[in-house]
């Protein structure tokens, strides 16, 4: 008699949680006792893991504010935001800091490099704060800078670098802890056309070759066209068209 086969239940594939999910997000700022500016007015947004989204719109429409909220750099007045399936509203400050350190890399228009540190030290800094194995940190930082064409600039301080070189250092710094997500606020805003093209090319490589999720605020139409989706912001709301 043949042995009976055990009952098996086929595995059910579980969809990965979105990189970001926002519902009903509102944010306002009080300028003085009598003036309140409503920057976000109930934003709904979902960014899938591995997706590149460009946020475009007129100055003051809430793009950078939304980016800061997605990155847990600020808190909404109303609404809910989750990152990789974790709701910010239920996370303590330490857990948010850990999420920012390990899962989200930030790139800003003004670079935000420490002027007293050289390029290598600037890139290493988040790794030193994030518990990365110190024995491999120097090699990883050097490898990122070499990859971005800065092998001869490792010991140069920010004021000794061009704008494009500073932004490449900032991008390397954002990647030192191996985040799955990049948040970029006008990454080419202070650059000339040639330097901007270089940053665009690097972001495209990170997205296509490594599957990085990118949420980017930009006025650069050439850069926006490289994204998977362009979302327009108007009067504190996100739309899919102009």
Query: How is the chain split into domains, by residue range?
Result: 49-72+93-230
Residue of 104, 102, 138 lying closest to 122 (CA atoms): 138
Rounded Cα distance between 108 and 88, Å, is 22
> Which of 77-81, 143-147, 196-200, 238-242 shows the lowest mean pLDDT across its residues?
238-242
Q: At what angle do helices 163-175 and 134-147 cross, to 10 degrees?
A: 140
| pLDDT, greater one: 13 or 131 | 131
According to the model, what pLDDT value does residue 133 have? Answer: 65
Contacts of residue 72, defined as CB under 8 A and 6 or more positions apart, other chains included, come to 81, 83, 88, 91, 96, 99, 100, 104
Domain covering 49-72+93-230 assigned CATH 3.40.50.300 in the classification? yes
Indicate the pTM of the whole model: 0.89
What pLDDT, on the 0 to 100 scale, is given for residue 3? Answer: 47
Give percent above pLDDT 90 in the chain.
Answer: 78
What would the pLDDT profile of 9-57 be if each residue is shown by its tens digit?
454 445 789 999 999 999 998 887 777 888 999 999 999 999 999 999 9
The 3 state secondary structure assigned to 195-227 is: HHHHHHHHHHHHHHHHCCEEEEECCCHHHHHCC
* Per-residue pLDDT reduced to its tens digit, 158-174: 999 999 999 999 999 99
């Amino acid at each position: 008699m043949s042995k009976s086969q055990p009952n098996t239940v086929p595995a059910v594939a579980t969809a990965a949680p979105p990189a970001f999910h926002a519902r009903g997000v509102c944010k306002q700022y009080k300028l003085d006792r009598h003036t309140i500016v409503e920057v976000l007015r109930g934003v709904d947004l979902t960014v899938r893991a591995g997706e590149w989204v460009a946020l475009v719109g007129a100055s003051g429409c809430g793009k950078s504010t939304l980016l800061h909220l997605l990155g847990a750099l600020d808190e909404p007045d109303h609404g809910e935001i989750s990152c990789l399936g974790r709701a910010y509203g239920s996370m303590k400050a330490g857990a948010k800091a850990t999420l920012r350190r390990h899962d989200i890399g930030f790139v800003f228009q003004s670079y935000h490099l420490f002027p007293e540190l050289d390029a290598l030290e600037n890139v290493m800094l988040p790794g030193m704060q994030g518990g990365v194995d110190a024995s491999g940190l120097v090699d990883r930082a050097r490898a990122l800078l070499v990859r971005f064409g800065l092998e001869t600039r490792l010991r140069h301080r920010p004021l000794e670098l061009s704008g494009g070189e500073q932004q490449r250092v900032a991008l390397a710094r954002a990647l030192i802890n191996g985040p799955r997500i990049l948040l970029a606020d006008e990454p080419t805003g202070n650059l000339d056309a040639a330097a901007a093209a270089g940053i665009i090319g690097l972001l495209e490589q990170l997205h296509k070759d490594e599957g990085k999720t990118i949420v980017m605020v930009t006025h650069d139409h050439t850069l926006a066209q490289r994204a998977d989706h362009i979302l327009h912001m108007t009067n504190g709301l996100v739309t899919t068209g102009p």
